[in-house]
Structure 1
Amino acid sequence: MGLTRSPRVPSRLRDFAMQLFELIPITSKEFTQKRWWNSGKVYTEWVLCKDILSKLDDLIGNTSNNNTVHSPGPQIMDDLHSLGQRMLPGFQISEYPSSGTAKQYGKWAEDIRTYVMSMNLLMVSDFILINTNDTDNILNGDWVGMQPRLLYYSGRIYDNVQLQFAKSVHHLVFMRPWNQPRLPTPASRVFHEFIWRLSSQNWCWITNVESAKILLEAIQCHKNDMNYRGWLWFEEELFNRCKEVIREPEGA
């Protein structure tokens, strides 16, 4: 799955990932109980998600030009339906408006981005947990592919996905990976190199109060530790964003 680090997903890799994806529900327990199974499953889902994201970039481009959105084509929508039904079973995909106004195309583009970026963050959350349970000292996850997608994203993320992300970060932080031995573990690398760089200055996609409280508790755990050595990347911005989200309902 190392090929997922390339800017685009080769068509043969996408086809192979789809074959694996279709086999996942019918795979015997002999394989699903293997310790590599979960990471292989999430890598497979990520290959499909990354392929969808790159193809949507070609179709939608800058969201300020949504009045020129072209039809996504059957394969993208089929892949979205297949991946979404498994990862976001409680949500429906917006159908492409074959004949509509610029406003309708813009709404469709926004809804699709919310849907796919929520899946992106869901996979980030899965890989955070996978790395906290790692026993082989191997970093799991295409962080080079997943992280930049969220860095400057200014749209929405579904509440239940925000919650899963917050819980995974909380689990990682309460392991206190900054106190781990000098040799970087996967959990330590995710903590120091990746999670605080999933947004730049605003973390605007953190909007859920419960998620904000969990993240705030996690950051306080790091900040109050006797070995705390300062903020990492955009950790302070997330800290301030969470306080803002928690305050908003009180002042509403």
Structure 2
Amino acid sequence: AEFKNMMVKEREDYIKQRERLGGKYDLVKLETQKASKRVFGTKAAIESVLKKFKGMVDKELNLILEIERRERAIEFFAHIIDEAKKWLEKLNSFSQYCNTLTQELNQDIQHKKLEKKGIKPFVHEIKPDLLTDWTPTVEPQDFLMWMENEKQMNIVKFAEMRIGEVKDILMEYGNSLEKVKEIKEKRIDDILRELSKDEKMEYIGLLDGIAAPLWQYDQGIVSGRYKTTNIYL
């Protein structure tokens, strides 16, 4: 906007100069008439007037060119400003998408945490060290490179997408992180193998205590005593 305003001001200045120059043509015309009526030195006088006239024409031509340049510059900057406003609107919408998705994903996380806190008879959750409240550190440049390499997409195209498409791509990128893949690919057998002997015995004791009410049954009939012989983890 600043450059556009500067071009407008310069154009107006050149237009005023051209208007002032227009009044001088009549003076040159009068000088030409006077020179043609002279008895002596007519040729020299006319050549002098013509030289002055040519200088005025050249100056006006230069002013016309400068005015035209400013006109084109004003049109160019107006186009740039219009495009910038459009992209600003798109980026503002994209920012709102991101805020909405952040709230939605946080709600999903809280919902899953509440589900885990629910009472589950005969169930004990094993939470290995890698399953912590870990938040990945993501550099914007890494995400942009991933989009370019995996999706053949830049941030401009990304900002034009619908909120559902944005969510899908963000989730796909999150799932592509090595730490996330490590956690998702972890199996219960892998976790149990990593437990120390003391940890295994601790879990066996916990599970035995949780399942104690079931040990009193033998083929659906209450036997009145525990039937535990071996427990396998």
More helix per residue: 1 or 2? 2
Higher Rg of the two aligned structures: 2
> Is the TM value for this pair above 0.5?
no
TM-score band by shorter chain is under 0.3
